[in-house]
Amino acid sequence: MHLALLLLASVLSLGTLALDNGLMRTPPMGWLAWERFRCDIDCDQDPKNCISENLFTDMADRLSQDGWKDLGYVYVNIDDCWSSKERDKKGRLQPDPKRFPGGIPKLARYMHDRGLKLGIYGDMGTLTCGGYPGTPLDKIDIDAKTFAEWEVDMLKFDGCYSNEVEQQQGYPLMSKALNATGRPIAYSCSWPAYSGGLPPKVNYTQLGEICNLWRNYDDIQDSWDSVLNIIDWFFDNQDVIAPAAGPGRWNDPDMLIVGDFGLSLEQSRTQMALWAIMAAPLFMSNDLRTISAEARSILQNKIAIGINQDPLGFQGRRLVKEKSGIEVFWRQLSNDTSALVFFSRRTDMPYRYKTSLSKLSYPTGYYKIVDVFTQKGSSLKDSADFVVSVNPTGVVMWYVSAPAKLDPNQFHGGGKLKGPASRSDKHGIRRVLL
């Protein structure tokens, strides 16, 4: 599809209304417990890693002290297995008293005192996926009020142990119940993931009206195969799901697993790059206490984060799928800028891919290019062929400026951008001054 048509489709997509809470105008960022720590409740034998208030305060400390919060990673999200096996005498959910002795309000205050936000997990079925009390239809109002009283900032609402009819009623009812509390609580729906992710069973117009974000597909696992399956599903179905995304309403391909055990550094860059292209929520699920410097540098890459957080909120698309195993992805950004990702499915050796910006439907002109992961800059004419060397299962990611007349003295022949000729904008993207 021509670039102009892609832009038109993105603009038309903004007609869908978001949940009326004013939240998540850019994709949310933070940390989420599930993929890395699952349902580890053995605090006697594994006190540092069990689902407890200590785990979440540890991660809050790391977010606030290690530079994550300043980059936008502000949510600390509890997932399943936090609650007691029984509701209290008033019918309210309650945290496990041994693992959360201070209660959820204390944990919320801990987050808020550090400029962070607390997310919590619920399930609209009779039980959560881990077998804890769920939120059936008759409990939606009381649970929404409880979360608001606890000063929770986000709810992830899962769908285990529920049926299609209950989901059709329950997900919209929880949206209304959260709004009725008067507290702004971001709302993450798992509804489409339980309905196959695609129309006609999934109504993305409705989702955009009741949810801030939604899980479309399977849970991510700590493996390259899992990441690749998610990438394939999202971009194979981009014509259906991309128009649903925009400020306040996001498709969610699930957590970032960078810093865990299943991805190489190349694959870690690939996940970060394509989640940025997709305008995906950036919820890390890793151990921030022990994360490697290499993984941290990927997750804290200011240019990649700036691309992800672009205020236009357009979800990117796959433009090219070559027989060679190279794929090209594109995302329109504000101020007539854009991002490109060259991805290699190959597993043998680096592949030298030759193309031009004009072949990728860029208009006539000169462009400034910044490599997101090396931060090297260069200039490029739309019609000029170029070659990118893409490592196996890896990416080359570019931030592409608007076409303009270039002063060649602004660049060190393919080296880093000169300091006097560039600056960082509020999104951390280095822009060349004309």
Give the pLDDT of residue 418: 31
Does residue 66 fall inside a structural domain? yes
| Residues 398/340, Cβ–Cβ less than 8 Å | yes
237 and 363 in a single domain? The answer is no
Q: Which of 256, 118, 87, 131 is nearest to 183 (CA)?
A: 118
Does residue 16 fall inside a structural domain? no
Task: Point out the least confidently predicted range of 66-75, 299-308, 347-356, 397-406.
Answer: 397-406
Show the domain range for 42.
29-309
The Cα–Cα gap between 72 and 346 comes to: 33
Does 80 qualify as catalytic in the annotation? no
Q: In the chain, how many domains are there? A: 2
237 and 187 in a single domain? The answer is yes
| Last residue in a domain, options 285, 309, 333 | 309
The Cα–Cα gap between 338 and 334 comes to: 8
Q: Which of 425, 75, 430, 26 is nearest to 256 (CA)?
A: 75
293 and 325 in a single domain? The answer is no
Geometric angle at alpha carbon 173, from 170 and 178, rounded to 5°: 125
Does residue 340 fall inside a structural domain? yes
Give the pLDDT of residue 20: 72
| Last residue in a domain, options 309, 328, 360 | 309
Max Cα separation, the chain?
73
Catalytic residue among 123, 158, 254, 287: 158
Does residue 1 fall inside a structural domain? no
321 and 305 in a single domain? The answer is no
Does residue 162 fall inside a structural domain? yes
The CA R_g of the chain, rounded to the nearest whole Å, is: 22
Give the pLDDT of residue 11: 36
For position 355, which CATH number holds?
A: 2.60.40.1180
Catalytic residue among 66, 218, 219, 371: 219
Instruction: Check pLDDT > 60 for residue 180.
Output: yes
Give the pLDDT of residue 340: 98
In tens, the pLDDT along 104-130 reads 999 999 999 999 999 999 999 999 999
Does residue 406 fall inside a structural domain? no
Geometric angle at alpha carbon 107, from 104 and 113, rounded to 5°: 140
Does 219 qualify as catalytic in the annotation? yes
The Cα–Cα gap between 319 and 6 comes to: 10
Let me know how long the chain is: 434
- Establish whether the linkage from the previous residue to 363 is cis, with ω within 30° of 0: no
256 and 373 in a single domain? The answer is no
Q: Which of 360, 315, 321, 372 is nearest to 344 (CA)?
A: 321
Instruction: Check pLDDT > 60 for residue 10.
Output: no
* CB contact set of 316 (below 8 Å; sequence gap of 6+): 242, 277, 278, 279, 329, 330, 331, 332, 339
Give the pLDDT of residue 404: 59
For position 265, which CATH number holds?
A: 3.20.20.70
Instruction: Check pLDDT > 60 for residue 416.
Output: no
- Beta bridge partners, 59, equal none
381 and 293 in a single domain? The answer is no
Q: Which of 326, 374, 367, 315 is nearest to 350 (CA)?
A: 326
Does residue 6 fall inside a structural domain? no
What's the predicted TM-score (pTM) here? 0.90
235 and 328 in a single domain? The answer is no
| pLDDT band, residue 240 (cuts 50/70/90) | very high
Geometric angle at alpha carbon 183, from 152 and 116, rounded to 5°: 40
Structure tokens at 270: 């690939």
Strands (DSSP E) along 192-265, which ranges? 213-215, 250-252
321 and 354 in a single domain? The answer is yes
169 and 74 in a single domain? The answer is yes
251 and 323 in a single domain? The answer is no
158 and 185 in a single domain? The answer is yes
300 and 340 in a single domain? The answer is no
Question: Which backbone phi and psi does 385 adopt, to 5 degrees?
Answer: -65, 145
| pLDDT band, residue 19 (cuts 50/70/90) | low
| Last residue in a domain, options 309, 335, 355 | 309
Q: Which of 27, 21, 30 is nearest to 78 (CA)?
A: 30
| Residues 390/397, Cβ–Cβ less than 8 Å | no
pLDDT mean across residues, the chain: 91
DSSP 297: H
Does residue 55 fall inside a structural domain? yes
- Beta bridge partners, 188, equal 156, 213
| pLDDT band, residue 153 (cuts 50/70/90) | very high
Structure tokens at 51: 């689902």
Instruction: Check pLDDT > 50 for residue 215.
Output: yes
